[in-house]
Chain A
Amino acid sequence: MKYIIILFFLVANYSFGQEITSKSAKTSFSVSGVCEMCKDRIEKGALKLKGVKYVNWNIISNKVSIIYNSKKIKLDNIHKEIALLGHSTDLQKATEDTYNNLPDCCQYKTESIH
């Protein structure tokens, strides 16, 4: 019985401890995009990067908030990887090629009314 309690506190402590030692960094920046499909692409793409723990992109504000392990990944790289998906960020523009590969509804630069 005692072991269960000890185990519980060990696990809980370990994960809380992680945050306290502040390897975890929180960041928020703009990522261009338009729709739910963009949201999926940005969040899944970023989450699959090693060191990224949590991603949430807001359609309205075009802001992404990310929690990541600063020892495993550099912020620059996160910007670069998101731009590779076709979505320009504050610091990194997506190349024409990757942008043009996005489906029509995600082409955030186009000027048209639906």
Chain B
Amino acid sequence: MNKGLIFLFLSFFTFNIFSQELISGNVTYINELNIESPLEGVSVYWEDLSFGATTNSDGDYSLPSSTTSNKLIFKFIGFKEDLVEISSIKLYNHLMVIDNNQLDEVVVNKRKKTIQKSYFKTQNIINVSSDELLKAACCNISESFETNPSIDVSFSDAITGVKQVKMLGLESPYILITEENIPMVRGASQVFGLSFIPGTWVESMQITKGTGSVVNGFESISGQINVELKKPLTDSPVFVNLFSSNMGRNEINIHFNKKISQKLSSGFFLHANDNSKSHDENYDGFLDSPKSLGYNLFNRWQYIDPEKGLVSFLGLRLMKDDKTMGQYNDTMLNSSGDIPAIWNSEINTNRFDSNFKLGYVNPNIPYQTIGFQMAYSNHDQISFFGNRNYNINQDSFYSSLLYNSIITNTMNKFKVGLNYSFDRFEELVDTQNNQYLRNDRSFGGFFEYSYDNLDKLSLVAGIRYDVHNNLGSFITPRLHLRYMLLEKSVLRFSAGFGRKASNIFSENQNIFSTGRKININKNNGKFYGLNPEKAFNYGVSFRQGFSLNNKEGDITIDYYVTDFENQVVVDIEKQGEVHFYNLDGKSFARSFQIELDYEISTNINFKSAYKNYDVKRQFNSGFKQNPLTPKNRFFLNLDFSSTIGENGSRWKYDFTYNWIGEQRLPFHSALSSMNGYSKSYNLFNSQLTRVFSNKIEAYVGGENIGSYTQKNPILGANDPFGNDFDSSIIYAPISGSMFYLGLRFKL
């Protein structure tokens, strides 16, 4: 963009002064969410045209007072024109009212992107707004990444229907998943945790590619996903979401929020889901997706006192989820007329969560803040899979204290703090007498320095030291660098270490839905006899913005490498057996991604990405590509939304296409015809939303519209209690197209 253009652009916000007397204020309107928000581009001028100004992106205006007029005009297309008499005041705030009679006129409104990448942040962080989450209407966080190219979604097995997320080619245990910066999906909740966060509760998500900040602990290896939940103060007073699919899945979400006093607000978030329909499209006698019943209740309190600089949150949450899976009871008799034993399965989960946060900003010294947070949860899962049992109970306590300030000036900031966490695991694996008990205690301190030269260069360098009863004492350094080569051209670099304890059973629950015999090659480690995992992640990302036909777009190229120094290898290469052992040799995940985003027109956004993953590990049987990990993937998303009409009514349409390349399959005699590789396939998702008004909207959509399914998701289905039974070799969807419809209503 040349300089002339910048000045032309800036001059829109410009007003000029010749006397010192100014009148200023803020112009707002009530948006479709019923929230008073700033209005940009409003013309404000004296009736006699002596002076004028335009409001900026914050809705602020300011213009010299006039000696010849005292009537101020506020004018913006689509809104009622207002004339206000100003006496001697210097500050005047104005509320604009939408004019429904101006139907012939067009409202010019720049669309806000639902996935935003920053040019200025040091880390490679992608912000996902709640609008983006609406594109995947169903139903919880684990299903909401289908429209996001940075995260890949796959099925973990053919029994539980649970979706697994991957980042940079690595499974979810290597991603640190936090809820408002408190580690959340870990340990016992590793597999199902994301599905326990209802989509409508989420305000936004931040996805960090590559190593994360040291502030949240030593665990993140390939990236971090932070989920921000809705806040009682800013969420709508009443919100209802209803969802129903042709597969028998029904969901309901209700939010109530109330401002109790100027400082205190409270919210109740309720969620319930039910699926009681038996569903077996491929006639293998096994349910394609579980029958389930669950609820999730959340009460949160928010306290804000801006004068004292205090912010506080308190949350309490109760969750229950029951799933029934496997062969359904009305199974046919076998040839000899006996009733065969039925392979069925149940997972019953109860979870309690509580958290407390307190933040203090020194009102006189705005760069000094102190934050304290604390969370306790209990996760209890009781389950069986055929004749195999798996129970886990985890108590988890987490606390952190954080202090932010500066060194010499605000170009040099630092964060210093402490974390303490305690986890108690109690597990029962396969049979009654096979129990595992473990306590993890960790205490650590961190220091993170950030530098911003206010121009081209910024960096974040962090270091932490942890003392852990089972991992030992260790140092974790991490570094992030950002350099702006030109305007709209940013280069980022990151590198850092990460470690974690591998909870082999809770992270790999799909092994229970197989006949595989469990073998642990113990080597005196503290975690099931195994040593903890340690990896080094580094990568570069380059982003170039461009303007074509007056429309904005950008190209992002990423290359990230994760090198494991130690790993717990899950080896399913041998039929009928699963082996867990520590890495002896090399293991890495190299991920390359090129992404193109372009706004085709004011109404249409285009997004596409090509991804290449090279994930190799040293197995006992050789150095091989990780099974069930596609080497190549292609992603495309088109998003259309019509111009906002009367009452905020509009159409929104979204289409996502995924091409998933071939995947190496572990050996299984029932798969011998496939020559060791799955075929590539296409997936289509689409959704149409009709916003009737600011209060009510309806949506319909389809997932896997092309109905591509895996031919034989359950191997050895005729002998489910035998060693060859396996439902964990999943490379494609299990059920065909799913159609749904729903309704959202807010007050």
Binding site for B on A (CB under 8 A): 1, 4-5, 7-8, 11-12, 15-16, 19, 24, 26, 32, 34-37, 44, 47-48, 52-56, 59-62, 67, 103-105, 107-114
Contacts and interface: CB of A to CB of B under 8 A. Distances in A.
Contact of B52 (A37, A56, A60, A114): A114
B51 A114 contact: no
5 contacts: A36-B10, A47-B410, A60-B25, A108-B17, A110-B18
A47 B409 contact: yes
A45 to B, nearest CB: 10
Interface size class of B (residues with CB under 8 A): 35 or more
A26, A59, A113 pick with most chain B CB within 10 angstroms:
A113
Task: Determine the main DSSP class of A at the interface with B.
Answer: mixed
Interface of B: 7, 10-18, 22, 24-25, 45, 49, 51-54, 56, 60-62, 362, 364-368, 401, 403, 405-406, 408-411, 416-418, 443-445, 447, 454-455, 465, 467
A59 B56 contact: yes
Nearest to B52: A113
Contacts of A7: 445
A4 B13 contact: no
B366 A4 contact: no
B15 A5 contact: no
B443 A53 contact: no
Contacts of A11: 403, 416, 447
A35 B409 contact: no
Contacts of B401: 8
Nearest to A59: B60
A86 B630 CA distance: 59
Given A8-B418, A36-B10, A112-B16, 16 more contacts: A4-B445, A4-B467, A8-B445, A12-B416, A15-B403, A19-B365, A26-B364, A47-B410, A54-B367, A56-B366, A60-B25, A60-B61, A62-B22, A105-B7, A113-B45, A114-B54
Task: Determine the main DSSP class of B at the interface with A.
Answer: strand
A62 B17 CA distance: 12
B18 A111 contact: yes
A103 B49 CA distance: 25
B443 A105 contact: no
Contacts of B52: 113-114
A112 B11 CA distance: 11
A5 to B, nearest CB: 7
Contact of A55 (B45, B362, B410): B410
Contacts of B45: 113
Contact of B60 (A19, A60, A112): A60
A109 B410 contact: no
Nearest to B24: A60
Contacts of A111: 16-18
Given A59-B60, A105-B11, A4 B443 contact: yes
B16 A12 contact: no
A65 to B, nearest CB: 9
B14, B25, B53, B444 pick with most chain A CB within 10 angstroms:
B14
B15 A114 contact: yes
A55 to B, nearest CB: 7
A53 B582 CA distance: 50
Nearest to B46: A113
A8 B409 contact: no
A105 B443 CA distance: 54
Nearest to B9: A105
A60 B38 CA distance: 15
A53 B409 contact: yes
A4 to B, nearest CB: 3
B405 to A, nearest CB: 5
A109 B15 CA distance: 10
Contacts of A48: 411, 454
Contacts of B410: 47, 53-55
Nearest to B61: A60
Contacts of A110: 16, 18
A37 B16 contact: no
Contacts of B365: 19, 24, 26, 54, 67
Contact of B11 (A47, A108, A114): A114
B24 to A, nearest CB: 4
Contacts of B367: 53-54, 67
Contact of A8 (B15, B51, B416): B416
A105 B22 CA distance: 18
Contacts of A60: 24-25, 60-62
Given A15-B405, A105-B7, A34 B56 contact: no
A67 B52 CA distance: 34
B16, B60, B445 pick with most chain A CB within 10 angstroms:
B16
A59 B54 CA distance: 13
A36 B17 CA distance: 16
